[in-house]
Structure 1
Amino acid sequence: MGKNSLSITDNRTGKSYEIPIEHGTIEAMTLRGIKQDETDFGLMSYDPAFKNTAATKSTITYIDGDQGILRYRGYPIEQLAEKNNFIEVAYLLLFGSLPTPEAYQTWSSEITFHTFLHENVKTLMEAFRYDAHPMGMFISSVSALSTFYPEAINVDDPEVRMHQIRRLIAKVPTIAAFSYRHNRGLPYVYPDNDLSYTGNFLNMMFKMSDVKYEPDPVLEHALDVLFILHADHEQNCSTSTMRNIGSAKADPYSALAGAAAALYGPL
């Protein structure tokens, strides 16, 4: 059986190098050891747009598009889409296992607690032009949250980080729904925390004169499946952008605003 390594011969110097292969990749920094002489900076890889560069290791998601395989924490996506809702899957992605009934109740309550926006955020959103693009409104409003929660900059504190995660999971649907209704010239609809996560989103998007909005269970489930499928999608443009901004220890709201801006582009 062959070695799990790559042998390289530098024809400039005649020297040979053996580079370890791990998970089908080599570390780019190992190329720096390949030099013509001691004054040489070392070999570098050139990969515009990261077309063939793995930027991180993931224990969260496994995807093989050719084989039609997508797994979150080892669970087939088909199983999660059939048996679980988005809040359960969010817990799975964050903590590595599906929640127990007690853990789910606590987790769901913690999310629900944060669905409402500060009224000043609503006022900010109302100031946009009547036909403002919802994505532009969304990006600006998410970024503005950093001014309402200045403690979010303490990204090295695990409890502070988790608090912002709960806030973002809760508030992003509210901001998205308000942005949509603003563009449609409709009054904003406040969250209804008696509904499920996706049911509440449908409520904020589409409620009209109903005293109590009752979401269509088929649409409610379809939206859960859609959210689950998009909960993690490897290193696309928005994920890479959020990781780059986050690497500078910016607050999560600014990082998410940048990630959303990456999604705003046509590609």
Structure 2
Amino acid sequence: MADNIATLELPGNDSIELPIKEGTAGFDVIDISKLGSKGYFTFDPGFLATGSCESAITYIDGEQGVLLHRGYPIDQLAVESDYLDLCYLLLYGELPNKAEYENFVYTVKTHTMVNEQLASFFRGFRRDAHPMAMLCGVTGALSAFYQDSLDVNDERHREIAAYRLVSKMPTIAAMCYKYSIGQPFVYPRNELSYAGNFLSMMFGVPCEEYKVNPIVERAMDRIFILHADHEQNASTSTVRLAGSSGANPFACIAAGIASLWGPAHGGANEACLNMLEEIGSVDRIPEFIARAKDKEDPFRLMGFGHRVYKNFDPRAKVMRETCHEVLAELKVNDPLLDVAMELERIALEDEYFVSKKLYPNVDFYSGIIMKAIGIPTSMFTVLFALARTVGWIAHWKEMLDQPGHKISRPRQLYTGDPKRDFIDKDKRD
């Protein structure tokens, strides 16, 4: 809804009136969609000042450290809810009542198995293939196994695809891990929770029963909750971009996984663990703290501060408490975890970090938790993709549900050669 008008003055031309749209929260947005018909378009590398869509799913206020899913604060959801409760909320817009929740959980749990031929598909990968390479390839290949839910114009097909992806992603993620270490695949167990089932498929073996630690189970569930959606980030925008062409849902999610794989996006917690390994021991921390404060030194502390949040990352508050619960429960003796805890103490007390609001973020704590649980760093981004799948699907469905959606077609500022005549090979210098 346009309440105001912005006027754009162009040299040698009449002024152009542009509607200003207001959302339910956040910044007002200048609607420039008609600017192209006037012979102009905007230049915004990285789309940092461009609203690419209307969405009612997630709202972020980076200045205030606020993250809302369908209006509910992330800290409330992480503490009071569970991952499948949040999945329903993201997909349908409202929290489920008891009957809706039980039906949703039952449907997800009874569709966790994958086609047995998918195991053969895995054998086409090298043993040392990165788990993200396998996840990306296998997810895209699901369109060859589930051809009865590929019509993106059919609302029922979209819903079936959504359920299948949420249900089967933990199974596929665990298969990526098992294949990479040479262990047999472990089938899902429907009596377990979503997080508990994933842990069972990750760490269980056919020769003995795997018992889920409830503290670890809750921590994994919170990791899933805190990574479920984060507005129009690179991977979510990629899913929307792919989906705008009418591509099938499995291909769109595979595209999102490929985008998430980039170290600037989904690899942050892995980069944090690599940094801890570089530091190595608690007695070397002062050296690296000094380097982090030196503007001339390229070294940066990973896992501190956030591009979006200019205050404390609201997800980190919950993850910090969970991190300490897991470390206390497992009593892991690992020098790198000692380094992490000392870095956390310094970041929360040192005037340099406090003044610049370089607080530990969600990637810092989730990386520590996953290492303590025994998840290798190569699987960190896989777990991120597992958790984010529901957010991707929610945005994909929302886009297709909106009337008049169009294929995305960004413009460019051309800086190449102007038109020139072709020269025959024999006449070229």
Please say if 1:133 is aligned against 2:130.
yes
* SS in structure 1 at match of 2:54: coil
- TM-score normalised according to structure 1 size: 0.91
1:11 matched to which residue of 2? 11
Please say if 1:70 is aligned against 2:74.
no
In the TM superposition, structure 1's runs of 4+ consecutive aligned residues that sit over 6 Å from their partners are none
* SS in structure 2 at match of 1:6: strand
The 5 A counterparts of 1:206-217 are: 206-208=203-205, 211-217=208-214
The 5 A counterparts of 1:132-151 are: 132-151=129-148
Q: Which of 56, 77, 84 is the aligned partner of 1:87?
A: 84
2:34 matched to which residue of 1? 30
* SS in structure 2 at match of 1:219: helix
The 2-side partners of 1:212 and 1:84 are apart by 28
The 2-side partners of 1:254 and 1:209 are apart by 32
The 1-side partners of 2:127 and 2:37 are apart by 58
The 2-side partners of 1:33 and 1:125 are apart by 50
2:225 matched to which residue of 1? 228
Unaligned 5+ residue runs, structure 1?
Answer: 35-41
* SS in structure 2 at match of 1:259: helix
Is 1:86–1:224's contact at 8 Å kept on the other side of the alignment? Answer: yes
* SS in structure 2 at match of 1:28: coil
The 1-side partners of 2:65 and 2:221 are apart by 20
Please say if 1:60 is aligned against 2:46.
no
* SS in structure 1 at match of 2:8: strand
Is 1:238–1:260's contact at 8 Å kept on the other side of the alignment? Answer: yes
* SS in structure 2 at match of 1:107: helix
2:197 matched to which residue of 1? 200
Superposition deviation, residue 64 in structure 1:
0.8
1:47 matched to which residue of 2? 44
Superposition deviation, residue 215 in structure 1:
1.4
- TM-score normalised according to structure 2 size: 0.58
The 2-side partners of 1:33 and 1:238 are apart by 30
Is 2:134–2:176's contact at 8 Å kept on the other side of the alignment? Answer: yes
Unaligned 5+ residue runs, structure 2?
Answer: 23-27, 265-429
2:161 matched to which residue of 1? 164
* SS in structure 1 at match of 2:6: strand
The 1-side partners of 2:8 and 2:131 are apart by 51
Is 2:18–2:32's contact at 8 Å kept on the other side of the alignment? Answer: no
Per-residue displacement from partner, 1:185-220 (whole Å, max 9, x unpaired)?
222111111100000001111114673322111111
2:377 matched to which residue of 1? none
The 5 A counterparts of 1:90-105 are: 90-105=87-102
Aligned Cα root-mean-square deviation (Å): 1.5
Superposition deviation, residue 32 in structure 1:
2.9
* SS in structure 2 at match of 1:21: strand
Whichever residue aligns with residue 35 of structure 2, its letter is L
* SS in structure 2 at match of 1:11: coil
Please say if 1:190 is aligned against 2:194.
no
Superposition deviation, residue 93 in structure 1:
0.8
Aligned residues: 257
Superposition deviation, residue 127 in structure 1:
2.9
Superposition deviation, residue 52 in structure 1:
1.5
The 1-side partners of 2:8 and 2:258 are apart by 41
Whichever residue aligns with residue 11 of structure 1, its letter is P
1:117 matched to which residue of 2? 114
The 1-side partners of 2:90 and 2:113 are apart by 24
Higher relative contact order (CA 8 A, sep 6+): 2
Is 2:139–2:251's contact at 8 Å kept on the other side of the alignment? Answer: yes
Is 2:57–2:231's contact at 8 Å kept on the other side of the alignment? Answer: no
The 2-side partners of 1:71 and 1:210 are apart by 44
**Structure 1 residues 210 and 197: CA distance shift in structure 2, 3 A:** farther
Please say if 1:248 is aligned against 2:277.
no
* SS in structure 1 at match of 2:29: coil
Superposition deviation, residue 33 in structure 1:
4.9
Is 1:117–1:171's contact at 8 Å kept on the other side of the alignment? Answer: yes
Superposition deviation, residue 140 in structure 1:
0.8
Per-residue displacement from partner, 1:221-263 (whole Å, max 9, x unpaired)?
1111111111111111111111111111111001111110111
Whichever residue aligns with residue 246 of structure 1, its letter is G
1:152 matched to which residue of 2? 149
1:257 matched to which residue of 2? 254
1:106 matched to which residue of 2? 103
